[in-house]
Structure 1
Amino acid sequence: MALKTLGPKAAAALDQELMSTCAFSIDQLMELAGLSVSQAVYRVQPLEKGRRILVACGPGNNGGDGLVAARHLFFYGYQPSIFYPKRSKNELYQRLVKQLNDLDVPFVDDFPSALAAADHVVDAIFGFSFSGEVREPFPAVIRALEETKVPVTSVDAPSSWNIEEGPPKSGLGSSFMPATLVSLTAPKPLVNHFTGRHFVGGRFVPPSIARKYDFEVPKYEGIDQIVEISPVDQKL
């Protein structure tokens, strides 16, 4: 089944509709997104391949998804650590941090050292709304993600990529290609430039909303919150 993509305006409008017409709270959507990411990591990085998961979080909703994913990964048996240099003062994010503190999940300041000790990285820095330049302290992080041999799972968008055009043509982020991408709700046009394993996590979108935004919800199996999409099906 071929999946249609959602551009930036449609994706933003869909998020707002989920929180208005569909009565979801942002807490619920972030929990569902983080759960989807954690299941994808469990699929591509089973415990026997290494338990040390470094989660790089940005200051917005994408970072919140990463914080939620880290909590779930802890309960799956992984050893997550969090790089979260620009913490939001929003109460929601503070509660997510508190939940991780209660589990003694470490927050790290030295990204290169943490990366050197990791078996897998979750890139939850920038989401589909990213545009413009990568600002401090994240340029060095993107550079490290470009150069590392450690597999990376990106949340909704590889950080530094444009939602429509994919990776930058040159410079920072131009050679960043994560091993795995988890598209939240529906794929974005950047998937046409992505060559790794691709999962969709959107098992909460009402059929009426999917029809309104002209995309099809993929068939999820059993209790899975994710479904893997073949390269043929994502090229649209």
Structure 2
Amino acid sequence: MLMIKGEVAAIETELLRDYKFGQQQLIEIWGQACALAITKAYPLSSLAKKQPTVLVICGPDQNGSIGLVCARHLRMFEYEPTIYHPKRSSHSLHQDFTVQCEKMDIPFLSYLPTEVQLINDAYNLVIDAMLGPEADCANIKEPYSGILVTLKQVKIPIASVDVPSGWDVEEPSQDGINPEVLISLTAPKKCAMSFSGKHFLAGRFLPYDIQKKYELNLPDYPGTDCLIEL
């Protein structure tokens, strides 16, 4: 069931080219599923004594767009997301997702809070939507290398989208961030084999022919749920 880097790109290419999925459609499916996973891992009731504040850190590529969609859905679910998005993409889709968040009155930060501020300013959760499976973890540049240093030091929970930032897709991390929750998209990546936290999979939309071709052997999803806890 575990995917390597080449399979991730190949499956997405087939979805777009052969199955006529749209990029926006896929990002919307994944982003909503991520928000649902957050509600299962950190239900509002568990945050009742505190404000349900969530800091969503978005990267410049597709994982960042997924983070934007996740933030918008969390806002609809009555969480209080704030977005830190240091390098915005020029891609029109990415810009559209940004506008959608702005129209929902989700605040955007111009700087990353320090580890002290992250603890004291009552963010209850950080969502890591920075570096996806296509990232070169051996060559992470600023501002993301600095953000990772901060995230390694904070004690509040981190939930990572698809691949924890700083991890190699195919290798367990020795020195990366240590998320409490991982939300795998489509199918788990090889690096997730060593992940010991709460692990969700969002991939119920995947056509059966693709599942069979890549021998993904995905689990049976319960009822009508679009994600499953592994």
Same fold (TM over 0.5): yes
Does the 8 A contact of 2:86 with 2:111 survive in 1? Answer: no
1:56 matches 2:61? no
Corresponding position of 1:127: 132
Mean alpha-carbon deviation: is it higher for 34-43 or for 210-219? 210-219
1:161 matches 2:137? no
1:1-48 deviations in whole A, cap 9, x for unaligned?
Answer: xxx111000111001001111110000000011011101100111113
Divergent runs of 4+, >6 A: none
Task: Choose the corresponding residue for 1:139, options 120, 141, 145.
Answer: 145
Mean alpha-carbon deviation: is it higher for 50-59 or for 215-224? 215-224
Kindly state the Cα deviation for residue 115 of structure 1 after the two structures are TM-superposed.
2.8
Does the 8 A contact of 1:56 with 1:125 survive in 2? Answer: yes
1:79 matches 2:85? no
In the alignment, residue 212 of structure 1 is paired with which amino acid? K
Task: Choose the corresponding residue for 1:115, options 115, 118, 121.
Answer: 118
Corresponding position of 1:232: none
Does the 8 A contact of 2:67 with 2:129 survive in 1? Answer: yes
Runs of at least 5 residues in structure 1 that lack an aligned partner in the other structure: 230-236
1:68 & 1:149 partners in 2: Cα distance? 25
In the alignment, residue 111 of structure 1 is paired with which amino acid? L
1:186 & 1:193 partners in 2: Cα distance? 15
Task: Choose the corresponding residue for 2:11, options 11, 14, 31.
Answer: 14
Mean alpha-carbon deviation: is it higher for 80-89 or for 129-138? 129-138
Mean alpha-carbon deviation: is it higher for 28-37 or for 136-145? 136-145
Runs of at least 5 residues in structure 2 that lack an aligned partner in the other structure: none
Corresponding position of 1:234: none
1:106-133 deviations in whole A, cap 9, x for unaligned?
Answer: 0012322563331011100001111132
Corresponding position of 1:101: 102
Kindly state the Cα deviation for residue 222 of structure 1 after the two structures are TM-superposed.
2.7
Does the 8 A contact of 2:172 with 2:192 survive in 1? Answer: yes
Kindly state the Cα deviation for residue 175 of structure 1 after the two structures are TM-superposed.
4.7
Does the 8 A contact of 2:60 with 2:89 survive in 1? Answer: yes
2:143 & 2:222 partners in 1: Cα distance? 40
Secondary structure in 2 aligned to 1:53? Answer: strand
Does the 8 A contact of 1:165 with 1:190 survive in 2? Answer: yes
Does the 8 A contact of 2:166 with 2:176 survive in 1? Answer: no
2:109 & 2:223 partners in 1: Cα distance? 36
2:176 & 2:169 partners in 1: Cα distance? 16
Output the aligned Cα RMSD.
1.2
Does the 8 A contact of 2:16 with 2:23 survive in 1? Answer: yes
1:87 & 1:152 partners in 2: Cα distance? 22
1:115 & 1:91 partners in 2: Cα distance? 31
Percent of aligned pairs with the same residue? 37
Does the 8 A contact of 1:205 with 1:217 survive in 2? Answer: no
1:49-71 deviations in whole A, cap 9, x for unaligned?
Answer: 33101100000000000000000
